[in-house]
Amino acid sequence: MTRDVRELGGAWTRHQRHAFAAPSADLARYVERYWIVSWEYAEPYRQLIVPYPNVHLTFRGGRGIVTGVSSGHQVRILAGVDGIFGVAFRPGCFRPFLGAPVSTITDRSIDAAEVFPGALPDPLDLPTVEDYLRRRLPEPDPRAEEVAAIVARIADSPGLNRVDALADDLGLGVRGLQRLFAEYVGIGPKWVIRRYRLREVTERLGRGEPVDWAVLAAELGYADQAHFTRDFRKMFGEPPTRYAERY
């Protein structure tokens, strides 16, 4: 299959601009970061999106959308001159806003008004978006903070690759941990562990490091390279060698 040359060797940077900002201190309990993406494509471009365990609130074209955690990769068509303003909530910390298990919006998008009633921020900039969130803050949920800390622990522990090991360390049963993640994260701990271990692959590619795929598979706790490739393809939509061409 012929590839779009705009996918290769970082060529996307000629068509897209990405900017990020940290939340103000009073919102950092809930918000991980703000992000803005703008693009200019004369011909439609298929943008591969590989998810993390964040719920996002996005603003585009006069609409606000809440998007739950996606269990797999997605493709978005980018065309013309446009952009999106996004709010990435800390994993586990959207539950107080939603007032329901976060798993109820996994692989779904809903109108922002279902969670955040009232007018959308105008103008659409960081101060007005933060004011929009402040006016709709829920009561603090200590459990959400606990879950966010668990996800952060997964992200920061390269040697952690088994759910039962994590559950034992937390003094929980595997089923109890799974229920907790369904309620607060929206997706299971096994998925979260796999996603953050595979992140280490893309970080190496981003640094331009040569990769021995068999050795890397073993370092990430896989029984063999075939199992690693299967998981990577399921998450990213293509095998690791093909994905590496993007760098």
Q: For 79-132, write each residue's pLDDT tens digit.
A: 999 999 999 999 999 999 999 999 999 999 999 999 999 999 999 999 999 999
Rounded Cα gap, residues 8 and 148, in angstroms: 35
Whether residue 55 sits in one domain with residue 156: no
pLDDT value for 2: 81
Residues 48 and 130 in one domain: yes
Distance CA 119, CA 116 (A): 9
Does residue 56 share a domain with residue 28? yes
65 has a pLDDT exceeding 80: yes
Let me know: does 49 contact 101? Beta carbons within 8 Å. no
pTM (whole model) above 0.85: yes
Rounded Cα–Cα distance for residues 196 and 202 (Å): 10
What is the pLDDT of the chain when averaged over all its residues? Answer: 96
Query: pLDDT tier at 154 (50, 70, 90 boundaries)?
Result: very high
Statement to judge: residues 98 and 10 lie in one domain: yes
In whole angstroms, give the CA distance from residue 230 to residue 154: 21
Q: Which two tokens stand for residue 96?
A: 């107080």
CATH value at residue 203: 1.10.10.60
Region 13-20: what's the mean pLDDT? 97
- Give yes or no for a cis peptide into 123 (omega within 30° of 0): yes
Same-domain check for residues 118 and 188: no
Residues 22 and 65 in one domain: yes
* Same domain? 169 vs 51: no
Asked if the model's pLDDT at residue 139 lies above 80, the reply is yes
Residue-range definition of the domain harbouring residue 133 = 5-141
Give the residue-averaged pLDDT of 181-192.
98
* Boundary residue ending a domain (123, 141, 159): 141
One domain, residues 79 and 191: no
In this structure, are residues 39 and 81 in contact, taking their beta carbons and an 8 Å threshold?
A: yes
Q: Are residues 121 and 18 in the same domain?
A: yes
Q: Quick one: pLDDT at residue 1?
A: 61
**193 pLDDT higher than 90:** yes
Q: Which H helix or E strand runs over 44? A: strand 31-49
CB 94 within 8 A of CB 105: no
137 and 179 both lie in a single domain: no
In the sheet that 109-111 helps form, which strands lie side by side, from edge to edge?
A: 16-21, 31-49, 74-89, 56-60, 63-67, 109-111
Q: Which of the residue ranges 27-31, 141-145, 179-183, 205-209 would you say has the lowest mean pLDDT?
A: 205-209
Asked if residue 167 and residue 75 are part of one domain, the reply reads no
Question: Residue written as tokens 């021995």?
Answer: 212
